[in-house]
Amino acid sequence: MIERITGLITFLSNYGIPTELVLIVIFLLFLWVVKKITSVFIGVLKVLAVSVLFPFILQKVGLIATVDINTILFWINIGMLIYILYLMYRTATGFGKLIKKLFGR
């Protein structure tokens, strides 16, 4: 992996692009990736917390009788499924907007 990055920097340097500029761009890309990963991780934690609390709220309202580990795991799975579908939808609409911007219409 290091050899590929070094090769990329050497390749771009041969075309007159300063090595420092390439490293700054790589660092900015790294920061962007870390930001996206932490954003998704925080989203997962929020969905997890709400999914764990939801069966207890249903019990308080009287819609379910008991709350056990199976009920909690069921709602965690439902919450994660909905969150993954939301991420897929958001990604697809983002690509759609990018394609629309590139090709017009």
Structural domain including 63 reads 2-103
Domain count, the chain: 1
**Distance of alpha carbon 61 from alpha carbon 91, whole angstroms:** 36
Q: Write down the pLDDT at residue 105.
A: 65
Give Cβ neighbours of residue 50 (< 8 Å, ≥ 6 apart): 79
In angstroms, the first-to-last Cα distance of the chain is 40
Q: Write down the pLDDT at residue 37.
A: 96
Q: Write down the pLDDT at residue 43.
A: 96
Give kind and range of the element (H or E) at residue 13: helix 2-14
**Distance of alpha carbon 50 from alpha carbon 82, whole angstroms:** 12
0.85 surpassed by pTM = no
Mean pLDDT by 10 residues, the chain (105 residues): 82 82 90 96 97 96 93 97 97 93 83
Q: Write down the pLDDT at residue 39.
A: 96
**Distance of alpha carbon 70 from alpha carbon 32, whole angstroms:** 38
Q: Write down the pLDDT at residue 14.
A: 83
